[in-house]
Amino acid sequence: MSLRPLKRLRKRVGFRMTLWYATLFVLSSLLLFALAYLLLFSSIREKDREMIQSKIDEYALQYEASGLEAVLSEVRLERSSNEQAGFFVRVADPHNRTLFLTLPPRWKGLNLKEVEAQSATADEDSWILSRRRGDEEILEIATGRLPGGYAVQVGRGSGERDRLLEYFREVFIGIMIPVILVGFAGGSFLALRALRPIRDLIQTVRSIDTGKMDARVPSIQTGDELDELVQLFNGMLEKIQTLIAGMQAALDNVAHDLRTPMTRLRGVIETALQSECEEAALREALMDGAEELERIVTMLNTLMDISEAETGTMKLDLQEVNLVSLVGEVAELYQYVAEDKGIGMAIALPDELCARVDPNRTRQVIANLLDNAIKYTPSGGRVEIEACRKADDEAMISIRDTGAGIPPHDLPKIFDRLYRGDKSRSHRGLGLGLSLVRAVVYAHKGRIEVESHTGQGSQFVLFLPADRHAPL
- Name the residue nearer to ligand ADP (CB basis): 197 or 433: 433
- Name the residue nearer to ligand ADP (CB basis): 354 or 437: 437
Is residue 317 helix, strand or coil? coil
In terms of DSSP H, where are the helices of 312-378? 323-341, 359-375
Which residues in this chain contact ligand ADP in the complex, by CB under 6 A? Answer: 372-373, 376, 401, 403-406, 410, 414, 419-421, 424, 429-435, 458
CA-to-CA separations, 467 to 89, 326, 471, in angstroms, rounded: 104, 15, 9
CA-to-CA separations, 432 to 225, 261, 368, in angstroms, rounded: 42, 16, 10
- Name the residue nearer to ligand ADP (CB basis): 5 or 455: 455
Backbone angles phi, psi at 412, to 5 degrees: -70, -15
Minimum CB separation of residue 409 from ligand ADP in Å reads 11
Minimum CB separation of residue 450 from ligand ADP in Å reads 8
Q: Can you give the C-alpha Rg of the chain in angstroms? A: 51
CA 192, distance to chain mean position in Å, is 19
- Name the residue nearer to ligand ADP (CB basis): 55 or 438: 438
Minimum CB separation of residue 410 from ligand ADP in Å reads 6
Rounded CA separation 262/204 (Å): 42
Note whether 232 and 216 are within 8 A (CB): no
Minimum CB separation of residue 256 from ligand ADP in Å reads 15
Minimum CB separation of residue 246 from ligand ADP in Å reads 15
- Name the residue nearer to ligand ADP (CB basis): 434 or 441: 434
Backbone angles phi, psi at 431, to 5 degrees: 75, 20
Read out DSSP for 384-431? EEEEEEEETTEEEEEEEE-SS---TTTGGGTTSTT---GGGGGS---S
- Name the residue nearer to ligand ADP (CB basis): 428 or 468: 428
Note whether 292 and 430 are within 8 A (CB): no
- Name the residue nearer to ligand ADP (CB basis): 217 or 369: 369
Minimum CB separation of residue 406 from ligand ADP in Å reads 4
In terms of DSSP H, where are the helices of 122-224? 159-209
Minimum CB separation of residue 417 from ligand ADP in Å reads 8
